[in-house]
Amino acid sequence: TARGHRVTVCAADGEAPEYRTAVVGRGEIVQTVTASGQLNPLVKVEVGSQVSGNIRAIYADFNSIVTNGQLIAELDPATYAARLIQAEGDLANARAQMTLAKVNAKRAGELKKNGLIAESEYDQTMAELEQRQAVVKMREATLSSAQVDVERTRILSPIDGVVISRNMDVGQTVQASFSAPKLFIIAKDLTRMQIEAMVSEADVGGIEVGQEASFTVEAFPTRTFAGRVSQVR
């Protein structure tokens, strides 16, 4: 060792020792932290339905390339279309009653100027007009809500991407009473992936953002992929 060599002596029972020498050098000590996780797209969106109904048609399947706003499924709109027609009729009726109330209010105003109507009767006529106007606003809101429900029977893609999961078939019933059911999962860009790995408490102290990392996947056991630590949380 004084001359910069390391000497290893190996000997078996009853045999003469063998000597091996090696040059002493300097190198880096690498600490490796190993963890497992799931490989996912960097951005993926779960597409659900805000209304209930039977699925009438599906226009996207696994691996389908979709664009933002593209129609990917339809629910049967019959129930919501009927509600829309009823809301339109209720609004038309409310507007007709408001028109009549305006005529009565105008007539009451002229009679009041000539002193031919009591103050209380005039006030009642004006209050009825305001009530009819309020009813029209409520009917307009109901109509707008019915129109939104009809539009929601058309399931549109919210992003450009690739369908990586389809969880419904034609004819199935979607129940959106408590939570939006998950119909599709769309990945925005499959060329950008991320791994969320659970690191043990003993090792997480040695991990910092920006460190190089390598990983393997079961689908390609002989290949090693490279990446970087983007976040520790």
Portion of the chain with pLDDT greater than 90, in percent? 75
Distance of CA 129 to the CA centre of its chain: 45
Sequence length of the chain is 233
Looking at residue 1, its pLDDT comes to 42
DSSP 77: -
- Give me the residues paired with residue 184 across strands: 47, 166
Tokens of 118: 């009591």
Other CB atoms within 10 Å distance of the CB of residue 12: 8
pLDDT of residue 141: 98
Q: Which of 215, 227, 223 minimizes the C-alpha distance to 38? A: 215
So what's the pLDDT on residue 2? 45
Tokens found for residue 144: 């707008």
Top pLDDT among 11 and 24 is at: 24
Q: What are the residues whose beta carbons fall under 8 Å from the beta carbon of 66, sequence distance 6 or more?
A: 60, 72, 157, 160, 161, 162, 163, 186
Per-residue pLDDT for 53 more than 80? yes
DSSP-derived secondary structure for 147-211: HHHHHHTEEE-SSSEEEEEE---TTPEE--SSS--EEEEEES-TTSEEEEEPPPHHHHTT--TT-
pLDDT value at position 50? Answer: 92
What is the spatial distance between Cα 215 and Cα 231, in angstroms, rounded to a whole number? 16
| 3-state SS class at 109 | helix
Alpha carbon distance 168, 158 (integer Å): 18
Question: Rounded mean pLDDT of the chain?
Answer: 91
Whether 118 shows a pLDDT value over 80: the answer reads yes
CA atoms of 60 and 133, how far apart (whole Å)? 46
Give residue 90's pLDDT. Answer: 97
pLDDT value of residue 177: 76
* Beta strand segments in the chain, E: 5-10, 18-23, 37-41, 44-48, 53-58, 65-66, 71-75, 154-156, 161-166, 173-174, 182-187, 193-197, 212-217, 220-228
Q: Please tell me which residue, 178 or 61, carries the higher pLDDT value.
A: 61
In eight-state DSSP terms, residue 33 is -
The residue assigned the tokens 């599709």 is 184
pLDDT of residue 209: 95
